[in-house]
Amino acid sequence: MRLFIAIPLPKGVKQKLVGLQQPIDGLRWQSQEQMHLTLKFVGEVNKATAAELREELDKIDHPEFSMTIAGIGCFPEGKPPKVVWAGIKENMILEELHQKVEDRCEKMGIAPENRPYKPHVTIGRTKSTPKRAVTSFINQHKTFALPDIPVDEFVLFESKLYPDGARHQRLQTYLLKSDE
């Protein structure tokens, strides 16, 4: 099973992200169904590990919060772009949730990510897209922002790969704690 842990986005947010899409040679835009904010990519695990991971994630106690999508960029920096993303404004509560997920995974022997966590929503993937076309798109949308996006859950997803892209299925939803 190929697993990842993510925050699903409200439909209205996904629609606004899809609204940015425009024809760019070699750029494959993400569908609304694929848009999410990854907390942790787990990768291939067996069913027993998946079951243990479900239990570990259930132990996470974290408050609801809101976040802001701000700016458009691409990965990797300084090289031909592979991923076009919408960034997430710095958010300590999100960082804490990411760290709790990372800690639970590490406790099970799932290796931590070897890069710093850079929260983002992938909106497109490139294949030999000219860098200037991507840079032009980024500059055109550098002031793009969606404030006050409520976050009240995170989800363990299974990702199945198909020739037309990945499909994500919810395995388990974890509710965050409300202040009430």
Where would I find the H helices in the chain? 11-18, 47-58, 92-107, 131-140
**Annotated catalytic residue: which of 62, 98, 120, 168?**
120
Res 78: pLDDT = 82
Give me 8's structure tokens: 């699903």
Grouped pLDDT means (10 residues each) for the chain, 180 residues: 97 97 94 95 96 97 97 90 96 98 96 92 92 94 96 97 86 89
Tell me what pLDDT residue 178 has. 86
Model pLDDT, residue 38: 97
Q: What is the pTM of this model?
A: 0.94
Q: Provide the pLDDT for residue 77.
A: 83
* 7/157 Cα distance (integer angstroms): 10
**Enclosing H/E stretch for 37:** strand 36-44
69 phi, psi to nearest 5 deg: -85, 130
The residue with tokens 């991923």 is: 83
Query: Catalytic: 141?
Result: no
Which among 27, 144, 124 is positioned nearest to 84, based on CA atoms?
124
What is the C-alpha to C-alpha distance for residues 27 and 122, in angstroms, rounded to an integer?
12
Known catalytic membership, residue 168: no
CATH superfamily placement of domain 2-175: Cyclic phosphodiesterase (3.90.1140.10)
pLDDT of residue 166: 82
pLDDT computed for residue 169 by the predictor: 95
- The C-alpha atoms of residue 156 and residue 5 are separated, in whole angstroms, by 5
